[in-house]
């Protein structure tokens, strides 16, 4: 049976911890062989990226494998040929396919026809690879998952995957979003199946009051540029700044950041910021995932 990774709860709780354990071991240099020697990863990009492309490409190299980049001009989803045909062909060339797409249904269609694992590198609904890196970062910082976490901002794809992943490892998460930008009920229902708790509010101050970690992301995501003024108005008061986070909490951001909007430059560049460790952990977490799926 082919194992796909379209969202974080495609892994069981035990498998999620195993991925994080493997990622930590790889990061510490405890693997002295190339576990994916001879394996290839095809990467289909409909959306541009810095971290996703480089972390997967360098990650496959470090594991002894190879990655092939296919941009919009190379593939042309919904253009030259159907997604189901692309999925079946790429499965015969590579050991797995990573996709970074707009429509989550396109990733699901790829998985439905692929005979090799399909990994979701981001869709408009989910960003599970980011969640793996986020959880690895929190584990790096606290040694386990005994931490209070706050999300402040948009209930977007990053927030939705993170809420489910946080619940899976037993984190207590408070999500503060403006009215109309909450997490989907379906996401909250999935999170409710696990040990951790996800609480929602429209008050950022309440969310961060006891937080060890404060996490945010851009308010205007890729493809939402025409909603810029509307969203800036709606998110007034949700900026992660020094006054909001206080003196103790560490700050996370999945990048790229719109400095001066969802987060201040001062907080992003401060000693409490762990965003660069978080970005580095994209590579380690995804390597752990690749070993789990292919090794």
Per the annotation, binding residues for carbamoyl phosphate are 49-52, 100, 127-130, 254-255, 282
Annotated binding site for L-ornithine: 157, 217, 221-222
* Residue 180 CA, distance from chain mean position: 22
198 beta partners: 173
* Gap between the Cα atoms of 19 and 292, Å rounded: 6
Provide the token pair at 93: 């060339």
Buried b (16+ CB within 10 A) or exposed e, 77-103: beeeeebeebbeebbeebbbbbbbbbe
Name the 3-class secondary structure at 252. Answer: strand
Mutual angle of helices 13-27 and 275-294, in 10-degree steps? 110
Annotated binding site: 49-52, 100, 127-130, 157, 217, 221-222, 254-255, 282
174 CB neighbour count, 10 Å cutoff:
22
Q: In this structure, what DSSP letter does residue 184 have?
A: P
Provide the token pair at 202: 């429209």
Tell me which H or E stretch contains 196. none
Provide the token pair at 81: 């040929």
Burial class (CB in 10 A: 0-12, 13-18, 19+), 245: buried
* Gap between the Cα atoms of 187 and 190, Å rounded: 5
Q: Are 290 and 6 spatial neighbours (Cβ–Cβ below 8 Å)? A: no
List active site positions: 100, 127, 130, 217, 254, 282
């Amino acid at each position: 049976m082919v194992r796909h990774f379209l969202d974080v709860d495609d892994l069981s709780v035990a498998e999620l911890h195993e991925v994080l354990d493997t990622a930590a071991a790889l990061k510490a240099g405890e693997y002295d062989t190339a576990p994916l020697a001879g394996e290839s990863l095809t990467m289909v990009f409909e959306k541009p990226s810095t971290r996703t492309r480089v972390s997967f490409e360098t990650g496959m190299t470090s594991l002894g494998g190879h990655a092939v980049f296919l941009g919009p001009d190379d593939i042309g989803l919904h253009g030259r040929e159907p997604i189901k045909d692309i999925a079946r062909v790429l499965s015969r060339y590579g050991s797995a396919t990573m996709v970074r797409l707009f429509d989550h249904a396109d990733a699901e269609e790829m998985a439905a026809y692929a005979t090799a694992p399909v990994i979701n590198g981001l869709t408009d609904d989910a960003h599970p690879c980011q969640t793996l890196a986020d959880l690895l970062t929190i584990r790096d910082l606290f040694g386990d998952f005994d931490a209070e976490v706050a999300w402040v901002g948009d209930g977007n794809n990053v927030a939705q995957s993170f809420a489910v992943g946080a619940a899976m490892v037993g984190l207590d998460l408070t999500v503060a979003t403006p009215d109309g930008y909450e997490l989907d009920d379906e996401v909250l229902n999935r999170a409710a199946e696990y040990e951790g708790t996800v609480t929602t509010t429209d008050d950022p101050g309440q969310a961060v009051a006891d937080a060890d970690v404060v996490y945010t992301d851009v308010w205007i995501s890729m493809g939402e540029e025409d909603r810029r003024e509307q969203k800036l108005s709606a998110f007034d008061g949700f900026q992660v700044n020094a006054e909001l986070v206080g003196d103790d909490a560490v700050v996370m951001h999945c990048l790229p950041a719109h400095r001066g909007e969802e987060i201040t430059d001062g907080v992003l560049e401060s000693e409490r910021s762990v965003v660069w460790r978080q970005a580095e952990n994209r590579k380690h977490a995804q390597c752990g995932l690749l070993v789990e799926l292919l090794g």
